[in-house]
A = this chain, B = another copy of it.
Amino acid sequence: MSQPAHNNVLAICGGVGGAKLALGLARILSPEQLTIVVNTGDDFEHLGLTICPDLDTVTYTLAGLSNPEMGWGRRNESWRCLEALEELGGPTWFRLGDTDIAIHMARRALLDEGRTLAEATAQITHRLEISHKIVPMSNEAVRTIIDTDDGELSFQQYFVREQCRPVVRRIRFEGGDSAKPSPEFEQALNDPDLSAILICPSNPFVSVAPILALPGVENRLRGHDAPVIAVSPIIAGEAIKGPTAKMMQEMGLELSALGVYQHYGDLLNGFILDQLDHGLVGKSANSNRFHSCNTVMKSLDDRMLLARECLQFADTLGVQI
């Protein structure tokens, strides 16, 4: 009997864009075949809660609870708490919906009981009947700090409160030097049946970089038998959502899918860029490592098709032994 072409897949994932591909992967792979490792550099302590925007976006997306209009938070959301908080003069720059607050409270309760972030996430996703593994990159706090023209800002201050207006000079990951990958992330990295490591179309600088910055992770990806493939978050010189394009400009990178490819450098065995950027393939010395297809994920079908493209492309690159 022949082995299935694909065995297990590790997806490295940020928020919205990454969550879309993660959903596509979850719809074509069994729970045993997929580990979704999620950035926690955006996490922050706010009003007594530990808020994990990327973990929650992936969770809501896989649970079918995400809000398609807003691109974050829960669908059918209400804002009575936030309105009352505004009336009381409390901080409302981070918009907490009534039902969204519950996930932060449930996590707070689990962390206060001594559970790790990975355990808390597993319990919450189980309650939401998600069978695929959504895993924080680390159980230890890593906090993305953006050094800007306006001084150092925590990620949420930069991203939400200042709406990405300040010019980025440097990005660092507080705690990233010493935080260990979560045991579930370790397990996926050590899995002998791993056949692809997919870097989802998330912001390379603030969503993927914190995961790669964990001690040993980048080297382990580089030396891994399974091919490492990134999907470009830049399409025709623009990001579908978020500050990726603005950051690339401010950091002097070429604002194109090629700029993303160059940023990841020799970490990648393969790179998927949008069909609109197919013309860029010939411009690169490593064009045999490129694959172009539709990467705009508007429908669930788009998500599943892109997931399939990723796995088929991984097959052509082969497990490198």
Contacts and interface: CB of A to CB of B under 8 A. Distances in A.
A233 to B, nearest CB: 30
A50 B100 CA distance: 20
A272 to B, nearest CB: 35
A84 B99 contact: yes
Contact of A81 (B47, B98, B112): B98
Nearest to A123: B89
Interface string A84-106: 11011111000000111111011
Quick one: which of A99, A100, A103, A108 has the most chain B CB within 10 A?
A99
Nearest to A49: B48
Interface string A136-160: 0000000000000000000000000
Given A87-B127, A88-B128, A80 B108 contact: no
Given A80-B80, A81-B101, A101-B101, A124 B47 contact: no
A300 interface: no
A187 interface: no
A109 interface: yes
A78 interface: yes
A80 B83 CA distance: 14
A89 B48 contact: no
A127 B90 CA distance: 10
Nearest to A111: B48
A206 to B, nearest CB: 25
Interface in A214-245: none
A106 B89 contact: yes
Given A48-B48, A101-B101, A91 B109 contact: yes
Interface residues of A, number: 32
A88 B101 contact: no
Number of copies: 2
A48 B106 CA distance: 11
Contacts of A106: 85, 88-90
A50 B128 CA distance: 28
B81 A99 contact: yes
B84 A102 contact: yes
Given A47-B48, A108-B47, A90 B102 contact: yes
Contacts of A82: 102
A110 B65 CA distance: 32
Contact of A88 (B48, B83, B88, B127): B127
22 contacts: A47-B108, A48-B48, A48-B49, A48-B50, A48-B108, A48-B112, A74-B84, A78-B80, A78-B98, A81-B105, A82-B102, A83-B99, A83-B102, A84-B103, A85-B105, A85-B106, A87-B102, A88-B102, A88-B106, A88-B127, A89-B106, A90-B102
Interface of A: 47-50, 74, 78, 80-85, 87-91, 98-103, 105-106, 108-109, 112, 123-124, 127-128
| Nearest 7 pairs of A and B residues by beta carbon | A48-B48, A84-B102, A90-B106, A88-B106, A85-B102, A84-B99, A80-B98
Given A48-B48, A48-B112, A81-B98, 13 more contacts: A47-B108, A48-B49, A48-B50, A83-B102, A84-B100, A84-B101, A87-B127, A88-B102, A88-B106, A88-B124, A89-B106, A89-B123, A90-B106
